[in-house]
Chain A
Amino acid sequence: MSMALLRAIRWSRLATALFTLAMFVTAATLALPTYAEPPTKTYRILMVLWRGEEDAVQGFRDYFATQRIPVEFILRNAAGDLAKLPGLAQEAKAIRPDLVVTWGTSVTLALLGPHNAADPSPYLPAAGIPGVFMIVSQPVESGIVPSLASSGRNITGTAYLVPEETQLRAARSYFNFDKIGIVYNDREDNARLSVEALRALAPTLGYTLIERPLPLDRKGNPRPDQIEPLVAEIAASGAQLLYQPPDSFLNVNRDRLTQAALARGLPTLAAGENPVRNSYALMGIINRYYTVGQLTAYKARQILVDGLDPKEIPIEAPKRFSFMVNLPIALQLGRYPPMNLLKFAEIIENNADARRP
């Protein structure tokens, strides 16, 4: 009786051991191939760009290179010409890539279309080509996706703007301010949305906003010669900070704007990287294009390699922003960065463009 019991116990133990071993072997055989065999297929990615290759594209390509995922890049450049876009869309359909990557709001709208288009057929998603967009300032407001959580169709993408609230709170770790001036082009959606956001934040963050929209010429275009007088008005009203919104017109005229501010001892906080890196803005709290490109590439990989449905991939911005400080401007203004900010800020020391008189 007891011997039988003993034997039963031994058998059950042996069975458990064998079962465990079997589980291990199964798990090992399942787990090994994914490590052992890299994906052998070469993916074809069409990148349609707005102003040629820059950091975001570099970040995108570097991601695939470091991940050792074989890809073939086909690059097309609109070179800032809206008229070229319908032709590029036609060409994309003919190429039939595994994935199309679009750079900027205009290219994205032309190739991927608005989410609520009455006729989606001219756009690539309808032709079964998945898309990933990047460097789109306002994906929802510009109508590309209904929400950041999901596009609802076979595209996804990345956001790149740091929210205004984050920018201003971070800027306050540099110096405090309670009056902000803004010059902007009322004709641009991005600029208008940014002004609205600043207006809404004013009571919570405790500042007053001085808004100066640029007057238009007879053709309806903003007048660049009005930049200096408006900045002078803002400086005279006692603002401690000038905010440069993500505004294409002002980006082109960044030197005029930031130099005007600098001449009046007014520091500029820029929403974009360019005015800080290549002009006279004091600081920018931004997502670096390179990082945005890498995040976009990660989303592309999720679609191509991992086989995820694009509508399941949320549209996100990079988790960590960069605090850029234009050092020559800081020294010129006598606004020295606090010691704790120096620990993590990206200091731009020798800015060749900014030295330009």
Chain B
Amino acid sequence: MPTRTTDLIPINAESSVPTPDASTADYARSISRRIHALTLFILLAALIGFSLFAMQAFETRMAPEIGKKSATIGRILAAQIERAVGYGIPFAKLVGMGPFLASVFPDNPEVAYLLVADATGAILYAAGPGAAEGQAALAGSSAAMPHPEDAIPIRSVGTFYDTALIIKRGDNRIGALHIGVRQSFVRGQLAEIIYDVLTVLVVALLVAFEMVAVLVALRVARPMARAERLLERLRCGDFRYDGNGSKGDEVGRFTAALAAVTRRVNERYWRLVQEAEEIKAGQIDPGIVARIEAAMSRLNARFSFPAPGASLISLREPSLASVRGPLFLFVLAEELSRSFMPLYIHQLYAANPMVIPGLSEDVIIGLPIALFMLCIAVTTPIAGQWADRWGTRRLFIAALLPGLVGAIGTALAGSVLDLLWFRSLSAIGYAMATIACQGYIAQTAPAGGRARAMAVFIGSIMLAAICGAAIGGVLADRIGYRATFLIGAGMIPLAAALLLALLDEPERLTKSAPNADGQSGWRAFRALLGNPRFVALMLGSAIPAKMILTGFLFFLAPLYLRHLGYETATGGRVMMSYFVLMILLGPLAARWADRSNRHRSFVILGGVLSGTGVFSVLYWNDLWAVLAGVTALGLGQALLTAPTLALIPEISARECQRFGQATVLGALRVIERIGSVAGPLLAAWVLGQFGYAGSAASSGVIVIAGSVLLGLVLLALGDGRRTATARGLP
């Protein structure tokens, strides 16, 4: 029946309106932007409101708590004074009150003064760092003698909270003991909590953004891309595909409706074929048979239909976003422990000292961190081969096993030796998971968008690092190291579940770059080691940069901050500032360096800058010195990371041409990890010899010296780019 054949044509004609490729992406982006803004607003409003409420509640409760603790301290002192007076020692002639009162301060740092007044309010004995100030404040107020009816007589006197207790002889009130706590101390406690709340707020926002990005990509962008691809197939007259539309959303229902239409079209087509056969069988005129056959073959040439009885092929749409969630969680699980790993190792060491002849305690504490880096360095190239063999999805699932065992084992470890084993497993899992994600991104990213896709990958890791360092510190302070590790362990199966639910295995690439096999890798290595500029870049910049990162930031800073008496949460926030600077300034610096085309200057300047901050530790024994060191490190590394990558093709043009840029960059990654491994060990060794300041300064000296050396070598050798071009190119 010709009518039916012609029925099909208008569908085709209608659908032939061209659709611009970018529209889905733009739509997704605008939705995502609006959702971001809305999420930001709602979360900020909720959290600010909550924080204000919590702080107010906290402040009204804090003063009585301080009063209670002061009263407890005071009662013990007052009882002893009363006992002495009861023996018949005159109240004004008590001996050794100075050392007696002073014994309180070491265990109660919040107490600023202890004053003993007689019944007239005259101060007889005074002790404490705030004694003179407190005495003056008390003299100014009429608070020298407390009223006996006050349950906990705490009052605000000058800049102190003053708790006063009556001292009696028999039934006579002979004087009062005043315990003063600086109000700034209470505010300091408050600030500590405010910082924690802010940290949680920032991390919650970042996680929310990440989740919004993933959700928008998966719930909006991916179904729409599928629908678009389905329409595109239909426009081309291909009726063999199903868009996998879910019933849950509009786009899904639309896709499902399209699939229903497709099925109906297919049914009709087969009925048509059947009818055509029947008509053909009933005809004796060969002309008509020929015409029917011609019409059917024209139909078949123009449209594609599935084989009879075959079901529709599901359309796959691998999406970059689907890997972000699992990757974020997996990396977050690892980064949770970043801010306190050396402290945990130290605790294990103290509980169960491991003696290795020739290694000091500090070096043993550095050992698990160095081993972790080493295992990542060794596993990464092997994991790359596994990814090629098994596929990225299976590699990620396989990473679950060492990752999970490693995390649980770390949480339950009894000694440093246990930790060495379990941290190695964690490192292997971490390397496998990151390589799997990297491979997935490389396979799914559109040809032109590879760099941007990689930026998504790096961004996800950085974001996890920020969240991990910050929230890990807070968690460790509140629930302890081991419980924090267990939370990290819980995230790993979550990451795997998310991955199973979301990730479509992309069609396997035919074969990775021909230069990827081991033989050429070794040859590339040898060739690169013969290139003085490359060697100078490695020794002068790449290795020292990793050394200061793992030695100072990952190993020394947490230990030093703990040594100064700061909480783990503070250490986490200090560490977070490094990642924040990297994520904010890294892209800026990259663009700037590209525009000015002065990659060398950026690498050298970044190196020098990243080493300068740590010297402040020599002058101030304070949090700010560490923060200065970390900030300078962040700035410097943000400046040099991208330009280093850009510099590689410049200074090793011949090698890049012979072995491919990817191989050369791979060599860079392997070589710079020498620094990652050596960093904690060297920092630990110097720490044992020269203390914290010496260790911090030594990492700075190495980075600055390396950068200066690199500058001199590059100056002496001239511009590698031009000579290479002049000599090497035909």
List A contacts of B94 (CB < 8 A).
336, 339
Task: Please give me the residue from chain B that is nearest to A343 by CB atom.
Answer: B80
Q: Is the CB of A331 within 8 A of B89?
A: yes
List B contacts of A337 (CB < 8 A).
84, 89, 95
Within B84-106, the residues touching A (CB, 8 Å) are 84, 87-90, 93-97, 99-100, 103
Question: A327-B87, A331-B88, A347-B87 given as contacts; is B93 within 8 A of A339 (CB)?
Answer: no
Question: A327-B87, A331-B88, A349-B87 given as contacts; is B95 within 8 A of A336 (CB)?
Answer: yes
Q: Is the CB of B95 within 8 A of A339?
A: yes
Q: Kindly state the separation between the CA atoms of A343 and B100 in the bound complex, as whole angstroms.
A: 10
> Which of B83, B89, B103 is within 8 Å of A340, CB to CB?
B103
> Which of B83, B99, B103 is within 8 Å of A342, CB to CB?
B83
Q: Kindly state the separation between the CA atoms of A337 and B88 in the bound complex, as whole angstroms.
A: 11
Q: Is the CB of A342 within 8 A of B84?
A: yes
Number of A-B contacts (CB under 8 A): 39
Q: Kindly state the separation between the CA atoms of A342 and B97 in the bound complex, as whole angstroms.
A: 11
- Interface status of A341 (Cβ within 8 A of chain B): yes
CB of B660 to closest CB in A, whole Å: 45
Task: Please give me the residue from chain A that is nearest to B101 by CB atom.
Answer: A339
* Chain A positions 153 through 173: 1 when the CB is less than 8 Å from some CB of chain B, otherwise 0: 000000000000000000000
Q: Is the CB of B96 within 8 A of A338?
A: yes
Q: Kindly state the separation between the CA atoms of A327 and B84 in the bound complex, as whole angstroms.
A: 11
CB of B455 to closest CB in A, whole Å: 49
List B contacts of A342 (CB < 8 A).
80, 83-84, 87
CB of A344 to closest CB in B, whole Å: 11
Task: Please give me the residue from chain A that is nearest to B84 by CB atom.
Answer: A342
Within A334-356, the residues touching B (CB, 8 Å) are 336-343, 347, 349
Q: Kindly state the separation between the CA atoms of A343 and B90 in the bound complex, as whole angstroms.
A: 17
Within B56-98, the residues touching A (CB, 8 Å) are 80-81, 83-84, 87-90, 93-97
Q: Is the CB of A339 within 8 A of B88?
A: no
Q: Kindly state the separation between the CA atoms of A339 and B90 in the bound complex, as whole angstroms.
A: 13
CB of A350 to closest CB in B, whole Å: 11
Q: Is the CB of A338 within 8 A of B100?
A: yes
Within B215-272, the residues touching A (CB, 8 Å) are none
CB of A324 to closest CB in B, whole Å: 14
CB of A173 to closest CB in B, whole Å: 9
Task: Please give me the residue from chain B that is nearest to A325 by CB atom.
Answer: B87
> Which of A331, A339, A347 is within 8 Å of B80, CB to CB?
A339
* Chain B positions 92 through 129: 1 when the CB is less than 8 Å from some CB of chain A, otherwise 0: 01111101100100000000000000000000000000
Q: Kindly state the separation between the CA atoms of A347 and B86 in the bound complex, as whole angstroms.
A: 12
Q: Is the CB of A336 within 8 A of B89?
A: yes
Q: Kindly state the separation between the CA atoms of A339 and B103 in the bound complex, as whole angstroms.
A: 11
Within B505-537, the residues touching A (CB, 8 Å) are none
Q: Kindly state the separation between the CA atoms of A283 and B222 in the bound complex, as whole angstroms.
A: 91
Task: Please give me the residue from chain A that is nearest to B88 by CB atom.
Answer: A331
> Which of A327, A336, A339, A349 is within 8 Å of B100, CB to CB?
A339
Q: Kindly state the separation between the CA atoms of A339 and B100 in the bound complex, as whole angstroms.
A: 6
Within A302-357, the residues touching B (CB, 8 Å) are 327, 331, 336-343, 347, 349
CB of B70 to closest CB in A, whole Å: 19
Within B695-720, the residues touching A (CB, 8 Å) are none
Q: Kindly state the separation between the CA atoms of A349 and B86 in the bound complex, as whole angstroms.
A: 11
Task: Please give me the residue from chain B that is nearest to A342 by CB atom.
Answer: B84
Q: Kindly state the separation between the CA atoms of A336 and B88 in the bound complex, as whole angstroms.
A: 9
List B contacts of A347 (CB < 8 A).
87
List B contacts of A339 (CB < 8 A).
80-81, 84, 94-97, 99-100
Task: Please give me the residue from chain B that is nearest to A347 by CB atom.
Answer: B87
Interface-central residue, A336, A339, A343, by most chain B CB under 10 Å: A339
List B contacts of A343 (CB < 8 A).
80
Q: Kindly state the separation between the CA atoms of A336 and B81 in the bound complex, as whole angstroms.
A: 13
Interface-central residue, B84, B87, B88, B90, by most chain A CB under 10 Å: B87
* Chain A positions 234 through 258: 1 when the CB is less than 8 Å from some CB of chain B, otherwise 0: 0000000000000000000000000
CB of A34 to closest CB in B, whole Å: 31
Q: Kindly state the separation between the CA atoms of A341 and B96 in the bound complex, as whole angstroms.
A: 9
CB of A127 to closest CB in B, whole Å: 53
CB of A171 to closest CB in B, whole Å: 14
List A contacts of B97 (CB < 8 A).
339
List B contacts of A338 (CB < 8 A).
95-96, 99-100
Task: Please give me the residue from chain B that is nearest to A328 by CB atom.
Answer: B88
List A contacts of B95 (CB < 8 A).
336-339
Q: Kindly state the separation between the CA atoms of A255 and B696 in the bound complex, as whole angstroms.
A: 69
List B contacts of A331 (CB < 8 A).
87-89
CB of B98 to closest CB in A, whole Å: 9
Interface-central residue, A331, A340, A349, by most chain B CB under 10 Å: A340
CB of B99 to closest CB in A, whole Å: 6
Task: Please give me the residue from chain B that is nearest to A341 by CB atom.
Answer: B96
Q: Kindly state the separation between the CA atoms of A82 and B100 in the bound complex, as whole angstroms.
A: 50
List A contacts of B88 (CB < 8 A).
327, 331
Q: Kindly state the separation between the CA atoms of A293 and B364 in the bound complex, as whole angstroms.
A: 51
Q: Kindly state the separation between the CA atoms of A342 and B83 in the bound complex, as whole angstroms.
A: 9
Q: Kindly state the separation between the CA atoms of A25 and B692 in the bound complex, as whole angstroms.
A: 53
CB of B174 to closest CB in A, whole Å: 16
List A contacts of B80 (CB < 8 A).
339, 342-343
Q: What is A's interface to B at a CB cutoff of 8 Å? A: 327, 331, 336-343, 347, 349
Q: What is B's interface to A at a CB cutoff of 8 Å? A: 80-81, 83-84, 87-90, 93-97, 99-100, 103
Can you identify 17 A-B contacts, CB atoms within 8 angstroms?
Answer: A327-B87, A331-B87, A336-B93, A337-B89, A337-B95, A339-B80, A339-B84, A339-B95, A340-B96, A340-B99, A340-B100, A340-B103, A341-B96, A342-B80, A342-B84, A347-B87, A349-B87
Give 12 A-B pairs besides A331-B87, A336-B94, A338-B96 with Cβ atoms closer than 8 angstroms: A336-B89, A338-B95, A338-B99, A338-B100, A339-B84, A339-B95, A339-B96, A340-B103, A342-B80, A342-B87, A347-B87, A349-B87
The 7 A-B pairs of least Cβ separation, nearest first, read A338-B96, A339-B100, A338-B95, A336-B89, A336-B95, A339-B96, A331-B88
